[in-house]
Structures are given as structure tokens and as C-alpha cells.
């Protein structure tokens, strides 16, 4: 099993029994999502921005407008992190103390670099769009040069990472099981509702397979 | 309309037309969620941790174990931020360039202080549990002293904040509306599934109203 190196950035300090350092567990969480929380330091302040991402092997891709001073500032930063989480349920215990949530989260640390080559940029934008909705890119009007020029693309190399997962029932104190308190799990999930066609031609078209597939897999 | 002060931390630099600085918009997003992404700087590295929160007026409450070195480290930090987001939909445009998501996000900046008083701590833990599931606290076995001693409670005062909201249809280039590309919105939401009773007494009990209410409001 391939594992990420443990250092002071990714070592899980609390609930270490829920920590996972193997690359497979981390990538499973990254594959199940397309929005991550990118953390960076701006003038001494920690700032967290939700961003869509793509991925390939140990690279994570983000993008934004070249007019985006935030992304420019992230690129000047040597140190960034990204956190991705699925909330899977509420854990309602018999005591307040043991209330919790079920979740899968991954935190990545590494460096960002700007991608300059147009072909490489285009491939990465395809990767980001298809990471959101599989097979979407090929149905689209192709990128043009002006759009490419206005798009900043950055590649994040994962230096180290950790995952944390809670996927179990209520864990109450032994003496609390006699209490007449309702305890249990409320499962939580993110779903897609039926796609809504835009005005014009899409209203007369069949919803394409890649969009219906997305809906079916997430409903 | 009461607004947060704009400074370099919260001023939205990209998509400024989607930025909101009024306290009502920010609090509406905070009321619609109970998990936030807390950002802090640890040894120069930006770290983002998902945490459950409670709130009252302009105070946000978080908690953790006193054995939690992460939370202790956050408390030593003068500067923290918190980001909360709802993902509301995929915006599938005719070009890759105009792909986007609909969302509501809020970012808060301020200072954390540790809460020491037992009565105040208990009230805050009640606030956090009830912010997750309304009216839950009164059904629980009360906190005991040992649990209180093992729980670290922190109060975050919002110094400034901003919200960003995208809640609209596809925005394609005028010349792209003739393209035979399916475009539209795929609404996304977080739902609760039917509560699952824990072993023992809860299996014989009716699911209480506060749990059923949570389920009904989120299904």
C-alpha cells in the first residue's frame, strides 16, 4: 500500500484512529467530489476559497480568470492546502458529548505552478469540466484563443496528504444505553435533481446521455 | 441595511457583482448550515478544517476535545477565517468557458477566544447541538463535569465578512445560442434520508418529533 509521508502538516492529531495516509483512500475521496476548499495565506490571514478541481494521477488542477487577483495571489504563495469533504450523516447520541457526524475528508498539501502552454491548458480545462460531469467536454463548442488567454490554469502537485473517515454508528458511554433517549443516525447525502434545459435549442433537444448519467448517478 | 466593513480580507476581488456585504445575507447562509471550514495558519502553512458550529448574534461557536492540539493551535492563532458554502447547482453552458456552479457562500474573519465558564460552556454546547438539529438538546442525558472539563469551547467574534451568491441560469456568449449544444442547470442539494435507530431502546421508541422534523425539512 502506497502511503503519503507523515509530517507536521498532515499528521492527524485528534482522532488518529480515523486517519488514513494511503494514496488510495485519499484519491477515492478526491474522485467522489469536484469542489475543494483551497487554503492560502494572504498578508498573514488564512483564507479558504471553494474551487472546482480536476485531477490526474497526483496532480490537482484549478483554474480561474487572469483578472482574478485571488488566484494570482495564491500562485505567489508557496504554501497551499486543499480540503475536500463529504458529509455522510448526523450521529445523534444519547449525550451531547457523543454527538458527531459521519464524513469522509481529505487534506492535501503541496505547491502550485502556473500552466503556460495552450495545449496543456486546454487538456486541463477538459479534465476539470469532465471531472464535474463525465464526458461533457466533447459536446461543447471548442475553446477559442481569447478564452484561453483569459484563463489562468494552475497545477497542484500533492506533496503529502491525509484522509479522515468516520463511517459508523453511535458510540455512547456504556452506562448511557439504559437512558430513554432516542439515538441513531440520520444519513445525509448530496443529490442532483432533474436537469433544467436552458432557453432556445436545448428546450427542443433530448437531454444528452452524459447529463442524464450524471443525474442518475446522483439522484 | 447593516453592512460589514470592507477591508483587504473580505473584499471580493473577482465576480464583485456577486458579492454581498450585508449582515442579513451572511447570516442567512450561516443559518442554513452547521458545518464550516475553519482556516488557520500553522507554522506558515494554511490549514482548513471542517467543523460543526453554532451561532448567536454575531458570535460563532466551535468546540473540540481539550486533547485536540489542532484546536489549541487555532486558539493561539490570532487570525482565523471560516467559510460556509451551499452548492446549489451545476451550470452547464455551451462553452467550457462559461461552465460554472450556483452556490451561496460566506466567509468570516475574526478572533477566537476560549470560553472558561462552565455555565457558558454548557449553553454554547446546547447551541451547537441545536444548530445541527433544532430542539435536540432537551431530550439528551445532561452533560457531566468530566465531559465539560474535557471539552474546549471557543467563541469566534465576526469582525468582518462577505457573502457570494450565484443563483441564475446559463450565461453564454450571444453568438453561442445558435450552437446545437445542450445547456442547462442541474440543481444540486443536500438531503437527509430516513433516520436509523441505534441498537437497544431507540428501536422500540417512536422517532421523536425533532428528528422527524429535521428529516422532513431536508428530504
Judged by DSSP in three states, A17 sits in helix
Cβ pair A43:B126 closer than 8 A: no
Which tens digits make up the pLDDT trace of B174-201? 999 999 999 999 999 999 999 999 999 9
Cβ pair B97:A151 closer than 8 A: yes
Which tens digits make up the pLDDT trace of A94-139? 999 999 999 999 999 998 999 999 999 999 999 999 999 999 999 9
Cβ pair B47:A107 closer than 8 A: yes
Looking at domain A16-86+98-166, does it have CATH number 2.30.110.10? yes
Q: What integer pLDDT is reported at residue A13 of this predicted model?
A: 65
Q: Does A18 touch chain B (CB under 8 A)?
A: no
Domain spans of chain A, in order of start: 16-86+98-166, 190-219
* Whole-number Å distance between alpha carbons of B144 and B74: 26
**Is A86:A33 a contact under the CB 8 Å cutoff?**
yes
What ipTM was reported for this prediction? 0.94
Q: Does A176 touch chain B (CB under 8 A)?
A: yes
Shortest alpha-carbon distance between residue A84 and chain B (Å): 9
The average pLDDT across B20-34 equals: 95
Cβ pair A37:B37 closer than 8 A: yes
Q: Which residues of A touch B191 (CB under 8 A)?
A: 188-191
**Is B154:B75 a contact under the CB 8 Å cutoff?**
yes
Which set of grid coordinates corresponds to residue A71?
A: 488566484
Q: Spell out the residues 6+ positions from residue A217 whose beta carbon is closer than 8 angstroms to its own.
A: none
Cβ pair B193:A187 closer than 8 A: yes
**Is A119:A103 a contact under the CB 8 Å cutoff?**
no
Average pLDDT, chain A: 93
Give percent of chain A above pLDDT 90: 79
Q: How confident is the model at residue A12 (pLDDT cuts 50, 70, 90)?
A: confident
Which tens digits make up the pLDDT trace of A132-160? 999 999 999 999 999 999 999 999 999 99
Q: Spell out the residues 6+ positions from residue B44 whose beta carbon is closer than 8 angstroms to its own.
A: A41, A79
**Is B137:A96 a contact under the CB 8 Å cutoff?**
yes
The average pLDDT across A191-206 equals: 98
Q: Judge whether residue A70 has pLDDT over 90.
A: no
Which tens digits make up the pLDDT trace of A25-58? 999 999 999 999 999 998 888 999 999 999 999 8
DSSP A57: T
Of B49, B59, B24, B44, the C-alpha closest to B153 is B59
Look-up: residue for cell 495552450?
A: A118
* Whole-number Å distance between alpha carbons of A97 and A89: 17
Domain B16-86+100-167 class, CATH top level = mainly beta
Q: Which residue, among B92, B105, B139, B162, would best test binding to A if mutated, counting the most A CBs under 10 Å from its CB?
A: B92
Amino acid at each position: 500500500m502506497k502511503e503519503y509521508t507523515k509530517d507536521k502538516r498532515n499528521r492527524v492529531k485528534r482522532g488518529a484512529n480515523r486517519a488514513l495516509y494511503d494514496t488510495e483512500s485519499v484519491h477515492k475521496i478526491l474522485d467522489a467530489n469536484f469542489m475543494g476548499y483551497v487554503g492560502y495565506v494572504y498578508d498573514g490571514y488564512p483564507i479558504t476559497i471553494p474551487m472546482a478541481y480536476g485531477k490526474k494521477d497526483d496532480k490537482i488542477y484549478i483554474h480561474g480568470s487572469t483578472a482574478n487577483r485571488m488566484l494570482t495571489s495564491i500562485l505567489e504563495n508557496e504554501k497551499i492546502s486543499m480540503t475536500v469533504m463529504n458529509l455522510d450523516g448526523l450521529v445523534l447520541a444519547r449525550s451531547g458529548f457523543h454527538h458527531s457526524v459521519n464524513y469522509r475528508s481529505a487534506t492535501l498539501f503541496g505547491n502550485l505552478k502556473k500552466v503556460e502552454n495552450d495545449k496543456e491548458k486546454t487538456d486541463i480545462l477538459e479534465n476539470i469540466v469532465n471531472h464535474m460531469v463525465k464526458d461533457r467536454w466533447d459536446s461543447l463548442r471548442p475553446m477559442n484563443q481569447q478564452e484561453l488567454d483569459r484563463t489562468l490554469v494552475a497545477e497542484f502537485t500533492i506533496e503529502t496528504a491525509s484522509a479522515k473517515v468516520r463511517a459508523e454508528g453511535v458510540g455512547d458511554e456504556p452506562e448511557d444505553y439504559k437512558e430513554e433517549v432516542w439515538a441513531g443516525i440520520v444519513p445525509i447525502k448530496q443529490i442532483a435533481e432533474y436537469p433544467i434545459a436552458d432557453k432556445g435549442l436545448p428546450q427542443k433537444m433530448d437531454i444528452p446521455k452524459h447529463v442524464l448519467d450524471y443525474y442518475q448517478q446522483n439522484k
